[in-house]
Structure 1
Amino acid sequence: MKVCTFNVNSIKARKDLVVQWIKHRNNDIDILCFQEIKTQENNFPSDDFKELGFIYQEILGQKGYNGVATLSKLPLENVFSGLNHDYFDNQKRVLITKTSDIFIINTYAPHGDLRGGEKYYYKLDWYKHFIYFLKQNFDLNNQKVILLGDLNVALEDKDVYDPILLKDTIGTMPEERELLKEIMNLGFIDTFRYLYPDKIQFTWWDYIGGAIWKNEGMRIDYILITKSLIPFLKDVEVDLWPRKRKTPKPSDHAPVIATFEGL
C-alpha cells in the first residue's frame, strides 16, 4: 500500500500536472491525500481521478482557500471532518477517513505569521486544539493511525536549507516546533526521519529565485504513523518530478509517499 500526501496549492490549477504525474509513476499510489485544494466539493475534479482508479473520495472543500481531499483505490469510510470546534472549523483543514483498521488524518495546518501577528496566534491555538482533539478521539498507543499533510513546521534545523538565515522565522520558531513535538509525543513516528535519520530532504521550495534548482527549501510535509504501523513501513520518498516541471506550473510543494507492506 502506497500512501501519498501532496499540497497541490489549488487542485484546479494543478489537476493536469497531478494526472500526468500519477501516470508517470505508473499509477502506483493507493491513497492520495491533497491539501490546499482551494475549491468547494462540487467543483472538485472527481471524475478525472475516478478514471485513474480513485473511486473512493472524501472531500472537505472551501472556496479559494484551504481544503483537503482524500482519494483512495481502497474502500474508504468518512469518519470525521474538522476538529469539532466552530471557530477552527471555519477553515477546512482536517479530514479523517478510515480504510480497514487504519485511520488517516489528512491535515493542512495553518501557515502562521511572524511572532505577534494574528495568524501567529491562530496557528499556535489551532495546534493546541488539534493536540487536545487527538487525545480525546484516538487511542494512539493501540490504534493504527496515519497523520499526514502540510504541517507548516520544520521540526529540526536539518529540515531547512539554512538554519541560521531561517532561525526564528515562520515554521522554525521554537514554540511552533514544540507543538509539533507534542503531537509526536502522543505516540507518532516521523516516517521519513525514522528511515533516514541524517538525510537532508525538503518538501517545499519558494517560487522565487529558482529555489527548487538550488534546493533551498524546507521539510514541512510529513507522514506520521503510530507505533503499531512501524513493522509494515518499508520506504518513504519525496518525489521531485512534479515540483521540477516548468509546465504545467507546479505546486510549491512536492509529494511525499510512504510504502507499507503486509497490512
Structure 2
Amino acid sequence: MKITTWNVNGLRAVLNKGAWDRLAQEQPDVLCLQEIKARPEQVAAEFHEHFNQHSVYWNPAEKLGYSGVAAFSSYTPISFDLGIGNPEFDREGRVIRLRFPDFWLFNVYFPSGQRGLDRVEFKLRFYAELLDICDAMHVAGERIVICGDFNTAHSEIDLRHPKANVNTSGFLPEERAWVDKYLEHGFVDIYRYLYPDRVQYTWWTYIANARRNNTGWRLDYFLVSQALVPSIKDVIIHTDIMGSDHCPVSLILDSPTIAVPGS
C-alpha cells in the first residue's frame, strides 16, 4: 500500500502547473492533500480524471481560499471523520481521519505560527489536542499513521540553516518539543528511523532560488505507531515533483488485511 501526502499550497494553482501527470505516475493508493484552498466544485475535471479513486473526502475551511484538506483512496475505509470535534480547529479544515482494517490514517495540516504569537499558541494547542486523541486511541489498542504538513522542523538536520532560525516559528524550541512528545507517546518519525543521517527537505520558500539551492526544511512527515514499524517498507521524498513550495512524500507499507481496492 502506498500513501502519499502533499501540501499543494492551493489545489487549483497546482492543477494549472501540470504536476498531476508526474504525481499520477507514482500511483498512490491513498493521496492526502493539505492546504487545498478549494472546494470540490472549484476543482477542474482534470484532477478527477487523474485521481478517480472510489472514496473521496473533502474537509475545506469555512474561510474561502484558506487551509483545507482532502483525501482520495483506492481502498474504501471502514469509517471516516472530518475534523477532531473542536470547532476552534475544525472550522479551518485541518484533519481527515480514515479507518482501515489495520490502522487509522490521519491526514493533518498542522497550523503555522508564522503570523504571530497568537498563532503559535493556537498551533501548540492543536498539537496538544490531537495528541490527546491519539493517546486515547493507543490505549484502546488502535494503530495510527499521521501524515501531513507538521509545520515544524524537528531537528537541526531537518533544515538547512538551523542556527539562523532558532527564533523562527517552525523551529522554535516549544514547537520542536511537541514533536518530541509525539515520539515519547508511541509514535515513530519513520523517515528519520529509516534514514537517520540523510539530509532531505520537503519545503522551500519561493524566494532567493531556495529550491534550486536546496535551502529547505523537512516539514512533511509520516508518524506511525510503534506497532506499525515492522510493516513499513520505505519512505520516499519526491523532490523532483514540482508545483508547490512543498514536495510530496510517500509511505510504503504492508497491510495484509486491507480491503480490495474499490470494495
Common fold by TM > 0.5: yes
Q: How does 1:190-209 map to 2 (within 5 A)?
A: 190-209=189-208
The answer to whether the 8 Å contact 1:68/1:93 transfers is: yes
Give the distance between the partners of 2:144 and 2:183, measured in 1 at CA: 12
Give the distance between the partners of 1:140 and 1:183, measured in 2 at CA: 14
SS at match of 2:174: helix
SS at match of 1:214: coil
Give the distance between the partners of 1:87 and 1:139, measured in 2 at CA: 24
Q: Structure 1 pair 51/157, CA: closer, same or farther in 2 (3 Å)?
A: closer
SS at match of 2:67: coil
Per-residue deviation at 1:229? 1.4
Query: Unaligned stretches of 5+ in structure 2?
Result: 257-263
Greater displacement, 2-11 / 140-149: 140-149
SS at match of 1:106: strand
**Residues 161-198 of structure 1: CA deviation (Å, up to 9, x unaligned):** 01111122111111001112112222111110010011
**Residues 83-113 of structure 1: CA deviation (Å, up to 9, x unaligned):** 2112222211011012233211000001113
Q: Structure 1 pair 141/169, CA: closer, same or farther in 2 (3 Å)?
A: farther
Give the distance between the partners of 2:52 and 2:114, measured in 1 at CA: 39
Give the distance between the partners of 2:78 and 2:70, measured in 1 at CA: 13
Matched, 1:150 2:149: yes
Per-residue deviation at 1:135? 2.5
Query: Unaligned stretches of 5+ in structure 1?
Result: 244-249
Q: Structure 1 pair 232/45, CA: closer, same or farther in 2 (3 Å)?
A: farther
SS at match of 2:70: strand
How much is the aligned-residue C-alpha RMSD, in angstroms? 1.9
Per-residue deviation at 1:240? 1.4
* Paired position in structure 1 for 2:86: 85
* Paired position in structure 1 for 2:60: 61
Q: How does 1:102-251 map to 2 (within 5 A)?
A: 102-113=103-114, 117-136=117-136, 138-139=137-138, 142-243=141-242, 250-251=243-244
Q: Structure 1 pair 98/49, CA: closer, same or farther in 2 (3 Å)?
A: farther
Could you state the TM-score of these two structures normalised by the residue count of structure 2?
A: 0.89
The answer to whether the 8 Å contact 1:3/1:258 transfers is: yes
1:111 maps to amino acid: S
Q: Structure 1 pair 141/235, CA: closer, same or farther in 2 (3 Å)?
A: farther
Q: Structure 1 pair 75/45, CA: closer, same or farther in 2 (3 Å)?
A: farther
Identical columns (%) = 31
Give the distance between the partners of 2:48 and 2:75, measured in 1 at CA: 13
The answer to whether the 8 Å contact 1:142/1:228 transfers is: no
Could you state the TM-score of these two structures normalised by the residue count of structure 1?
A: 0.89
1:100 maps to amino acid: P
* Paired position in structure 2 for 1:37: 36
How many residues were matched structurally?
253
Matched, 1:10 2:10: yes
